[in-house]
Chains A and B, each alone.
Chain A
Amino acid sequence: MTVIYATFSRMKIAIAQIDPYLGNIEKNLKRHLDLVEEAISKKADLIVFPELSLTGYTLRDGVPDMALKPGGDTAFNKLIASSKGISIAFGFAEEKDPGLFFNSSAFLSGGKTLHIHRKVYLPNYGIFEELKFFGQGRNFHTFSSPFGKTGMLICYDFLHYGASYLLFAGGSEFIIVLSAAPGRGVSSGEGWASSYMWELMGETISRFSQSFVIYANRVGSEDGKSFAGGSFIYSPAGQLLAKASYSEEEFLVREVDIQEIREMRRKWPYKRDEKPEIICEALKRIVAGNED
């Protein structure tokens, strides 16, 4: 990572807080390619789209018709080709193996697919029914991106702090969250009552993992659910750097200082003092039901 710090310290992050067309990959692909162009013209190094940005969220039985094979579909390949001068994180329905579908996100950069994350925590309560239509991902990986160690989470993954911990333990410097979180509660204060929990998690995880947290949520409505927007970027110091509207589309571009990761980790050596091996052993004992 020191090589990267030596080469540059500032980068530009773009978040495309969009309202995808439900079940229309062609129109969504065009939107993606246009926004990638716009991000490049604004000299952004990374553009992040929301969860299932290429398909819309409420696919239900439409998942098999909308699912793509990474690298094996025209839409996917066009996005790969568009990533030559920029990094792109986007969401799609994936057919990993014949008949096996996942709610996935891809990280593309330099004309290559650097990583695919398959959503692990599929919400299946209240208004959610993802377990009916998707298989569960089984891992949280970090990978090397052009600006540092990076990990991706999808929506409900991020509300389980163990997921962020695993990225932190895996060396994350950038945690990218692709989301399609519906707004719930209009009781008081600005925007959705449910937005606070995402922001609280964003602040907490960024501060204690000393990573940038980039949260891209969507807006618009599907079957009466309105998605809550409010995309944000938190710095490794836990500072809110940018936040988008709770109801409208927005194209957020923000320059950040990568050196902050190093500065925060020198000042507060959480990363140095972290003990994943103890956590791992303790978890094994808990899972085995033998806590002593």
Chain B
Amino acid sequence: MKIDTAFVEKILTNFIRDELHRFGFEKGLLGLSGGLDSSVCAFLASRALKPENVLGLIMPYGESFSGDVEDAGGIARILGIRTKSIDISPMIDAYYKSHPTKNRIMIGNKMARERMSILYDHSVREHALILGTSNKTELLLGYGTIHGDMACAINPLGDLYKTQIRMLAGHLGVPEKIIMKPPTAGLWSGQTDEEELGMTYEDIDRLLFQLIDNRKSHDQAIAMGFSGEMVKKIGTLIRNSEFKRKLPPVAKLSHRTVGHDFLYPYDRD
């Protein structure tokens, strides 16, 4: 699980710079939540590009999460990157006024997709590519909103577990306060990931590392000391979220079909 953080920084900053330049972009943008992942991504982006070429969008829902908004602004000030604040409550409220619900997850997902839509709008306005902030733990568990916070042009963080992001954050000089903050998807006020999942990221990541990186079976993981209940729960989360990690299947009819046998790289020069 340990990573050589200086080397990882080098690889990821090269990745961000190469990808943007390859597609003719100088600028990157990302949603700044005041949490760990988007802060780490902002640190990497400001080193890969120039700070003035990074735009952090701060998109609170009204006055809630005011502490996080402050933290996001603090990160931007440390790095010298540009920010823009856009309150998403008018858009969200307008919709739920006519389609009310009490389902907090639905509302949280809608907010994530509103932020996505603002990011893509600004991608064109700013001629900047969207940097994703989903980490490996979230991608594997499907702990993110499809077409919401998972949407991006490139994702520098997707092969780092949450605990590895913490290690990288320490190396990059992300303020201790951000590193120690309880991770939250920000779906509602006071929500924390670990409480909702019923496990700590440290335990989850240790298990995922065995199951995914070391290709251990569930039985082998249990023999290593992980509880059967935890292994089952994590296994189910991984299996049930495959749709979030793939483009949807296209019904094949012709000799050559998008998504099946029309195969080109994402990148090009």
Interface of A, helix, strand, loop or mixed by DSSP: loop
Q: Are A58 and B7 in contact (CB under 8 A)?
A: no
| B contact set with A: CB distance below 8 Å | 1-4, 7-8, 10-11, 14-15, 18-19, 22, 154, 262-269
Interface residues of A in 176-230 (CB under 8 A from B): 183, 186-191, 220-224, 226
* Least distance between A276 CB and chain B CB atoms (Å): 38
Asked whether any CB of chain B lies closer than 8 Å to the CB of A74, the reply is no
A226 interface neighbour in B1, B15, B263, B264, Cβ under 8 Å: B15
Known: A19-B18, A188-B2. A183 touches B11 (CB 8 A): yes
Can you list, as one digit per residue, whether each of A1-38 has a CB less than 8 Å from chain B (1) or not (0)? 00000000000000000010111100100000000000
B residues less than 8 Å from A223 (CB atoms)? 265-267
B residues less than 8 Å from A189 (CB atoms)? 4
Q: Are B265 and A226 in contact (CB under 8 A)?
A: no
* Least distance between A26 CB and chain B CB atoms (Å): 10
Interface centre among B1, B262, B264 (most CB of A within 10 A): B264
Interface centre among B1, B15, B18, B265 (most CB of A within 10 A): B265
A61 interface neighbour in B1, B15, B19, B263, Cβ under 8 Å: B263
Asked whether any CB of chain B lies closer than 8 Å to the CB of A62, the reply is yes
A residues less than 8 Å from B3 (CB atoms)? 186-188
A residues less than 8 Å from B7 (CB atoms)? 186, 190-191, 246-247
| A contact set with B: CB distance below 8 Å | 19, 21-24, 27, 56, 58-62, 132, 183, 186-191, 220-224, 226, 246-248
What number of A-B contacts does a CB cutoff of 8 Å give?
67
Give B11's nearest chain A residue, CB to CB.
A226
Closest 8 CB pairs of A and B: A21-B269, A58-B265, A60-B263, A24-B269, A61-B263, A223-B266, A22-B269, A186-B3
| CA distance in complex: A221, B7 (Å) | 15
| CA distance in complex: A58, B263 (Å) | 10
A-B contact pairs, 12 of them (CB 8 A): A19-B18, A22-B265, A22-B267, A22-B268, A24-B269, A27-B269, A58-B267, A59-B265, A62-B264, A188-B2, A189-B4, A226-B11
Q: Are B2 and A187 in contact (CB under 8 A)?
A: yes
A residues less than 8 Å from B265 (CB atoms)? 22-23, 58-60, 62, 222-223
Give A58's nearest chain B residue, CB to CB.
B265
| CA distance in complex: A190, B3 (Å) | 10
B residues less than 8 Å from A191 (CB atoms)? 4, 7
B residues less than 8 Å from A224 (CB atoms)? 15, 154, 266
Q: Are B14 and A190 in contact (CB under 8 A)?
A: no
* Least distance between B26 CB and chain A CB atoms (Å): 18
Give A27's nearest chain B residue, CB to CB.
B269
* Least distance between A258 CB and chain B CB atoms (Å): 35
